[in-house]
Amino acid sequence: MKISIAKQQYSHGNLERAEVRPNPANPNEWFVMLYDSKMKTYVLVNEEEEPVVDLDINKLLALLKGFGFNEVSVILYHF
């Protein structure tokens, strides 16, 4: 889901939760998984439809805080 759409969906109450997870392609990077009210999952992508990933988890948490999320799950696992 594009960032612009995700912000809109969150403001309308259509996104229930967010998770930050290690990127399976590069475990040093993190990505965002969003869930709607039916628990359908979406990967957060930029406007060019590329997954939003970052080495710094704090940047992704700040992005989600900007949406309005005040609670985000962080999933830790090893590949």
What does pLDDT average to in each consecutive run of 10 residues of the chain (79 residues)? 96 96 93 96 97 97 96 86
Q: Residue 78: its pLDDT value, please?
A: 63
Q: Residue 53: its pLDDT value, please?
A: 97
Host H or E run for residue 19? strand 15-23
Contacts of 23 (CB under 8 A, 6+ apart): 29, 30, 31, 51, 53
C-alpha 46/C-alpha 60 separation (Å) is 12
